[in-house]
Structure 1
Amino acid sequence: MHAPSSQKQFGIFKVLDNNTSVEMNGEVNSQSLTNFTSLTTAYPNITIIHIKTCDGSSDDDVNLQLSALVHKKKINTHIVDGGLVASGGTDFFLAGVERSKGSNTKIGVHSWAGNDQEATDFPEGHIEHRKYIEYYVSVGFSQTQAKSFYYFTINAAPASSIHWMTDAEIQQYSLLTKISR
């Protein structure tokens, strides 16, 4: 007997009928880590998150903690056909041990901002950049790849805008670990 659908929805995450896949749709917020922890407690065999849309996060610290948890649990991420990730959503996508995407997807990046400053206000190597570079390393990027991708993202567009990555950029920065056909 299947659990009622209300028990399969955990904030922006919905457990699919096979009980090993999750659909993600929405912005990561301050409750997303708690919701995902509850989900994986109730459904411990999750192997993949299918991302419809995640255009960012309203809480960067929660997003990085949530993303680290996804990676630690060896869960894969996939952007579905027509799906979109941007900003913190791109960081979340990178948590997947294996990362793939369907067709007609968008991956967006830009600088972060906080306390009336943008990432580009700080010189390369500044401590303000460290948590993002360390995050990319923690999900499998080499130190060189992590720095290269991070500085690309913050210089690609200001915080008030977005840069949609080209296929060449996605390949250059090794965002996909497997190619979907």
Structure 2
Amino acid sequence: MSLVRTGINPLKEAQGLVAVAIIVVASLLLVGCQQVAVLTMNQMVTTEFQVMGTKLLMRGEINSRSLGQFEEVYAENPDIDTLVQLDVPGSIDDDVMVAFGYRLRELGLNTHLTARSEVYSGGVDLFLAGVERTMEPGATLGVHSWSDGIKDAQDYPKSAPAHQQNRLYIERMLGNDTFYWFTIYAASAENIHIMTEAEIRRYGLLTN
């Protein structure tokens, strides 16, 4: 009895299965490497704070240690009224970024960007926490979709629970969630969209 099914070459079929298996394994290894890299970065100090009078200058990526660092600095300098973000490329830990933002709003702090500030991704979300949000001409704001390592935010239906934490954060900071939906469709997680002045105005990022 022949084992060859009509129209199917067993060797080619086996080669195809091997190729699929290799792709799956490679994808898992890549995700695993990314997770290890994130865990490593979360153990490092990636955020730098510097007090200048009533202003707190901030540089670096937001990770799991950033909120704790801020709390230590603020406890020693309770007169701080404004967080000035200089170069903030994003966040490694979105849960901490959200908690950080809520804490800034709770304390009634303002946020400000200088003419040379470059703030992206989670750094933009943190900027929204300011009671008063100001920026000088020349500052850069860049947004994109978040990713869980498997899918980008835009790949989930709008009703998916995966949206809830970040969507609700934006809604609480700006009064509605329109900006959240703009960010996730503006660019994929691997890319960045630099906001125009018109977009910054349209979505109410500035209070002045």
Cα deviation, 1:74-109, whole Å, max 9, x if unaligned, reads 000001111111100000111100001012111110
Question: Which runs of 5 or more structure 1 residues have no equivalent in the other structure?
Answer: 1-9
Matched, 1:111 2:141: no
Which residue is equivalent to 1:7?
none
State how far apart, in whole Å, the 2-side matches of 1:52 and 1:168 are. 22
Matched, 1:167 2:197: yes
Which residue is equivalent to 2:70?
36
- The code of the aligned residue for 1:60 comes to D
Cα deviation, 1:33-77, whole Å, max 9, x if unaligned, reads 100111111111110011111110111111111111011100000
Aligned residue among 166, 171, 184 for 1:154: 184
Work out which of the two has the higher radius of gyration on C-alpha atoms and give 1 or 2. Answer: 2
Identity %: 39
> Which consecutive segments of 4 or more residues in structure 1 shift more than 6 A?
none
State how far apart, in whole Å, the 1-side matches of 2:139 and 2:149 are. 32
State how far apart, in whole Å, the 2-side matches of 1:125 and 1:109 are. 21
State how far apart, in whole Å, the 1-side matches of 2:193 and 2:92 are. 19
Q: Report the aligned-residue RMSD.
A: 1.3
Which residue is equivalent to 1:15?
51
- The code of the aligned residue for 1:35 comes to Q
- The code of the aligned residue for 1:71 comes to R
Structure of higher RCO (CA pairs closer than 8 Å, 6+ residues apart) = 1
Count of residue correspondences: 163
Does the CA-based 8 Å contact 1:84-1:107 persist in structure 2? Answer: yes
**What is the TM-score when the length of structure 2 is the normalising length?**
0.76
Question: Which runs of 5 or more structure 2 residues have no equivalent in the other structure?
Answer: 1-45
State how far apart, in whole Å, the 2-side matches of 1:80 and 1:58 are. 23
In the TM superposition, residue 11 of structure 1 has moved relative to its aligned partner by 4.4
User: Secondary structure of 1:117's match?
Assistant: coil
State how far apart, in whole Å, the 1-side matches of 2:108 and 2:149 are. 34
Does the CA-based 8 Å contact 1:100-1:176 persist in structure 2? Answer: yes
- The code of the aligned residue for 1:167 comes to E
User: Secondary structure of 1:13's match?
Assistant: strand
- The code of the aligned residue for 2:80 comes to I
Matched, 1:65 2:95: no
Does the CA-based 8 Å contact 1:68-1:138 persist in structure 2? Answer: no
**What is the TM-score when the length of structure 1 is the normalising length?**
0.87
Matched, 1:100 2:130: no
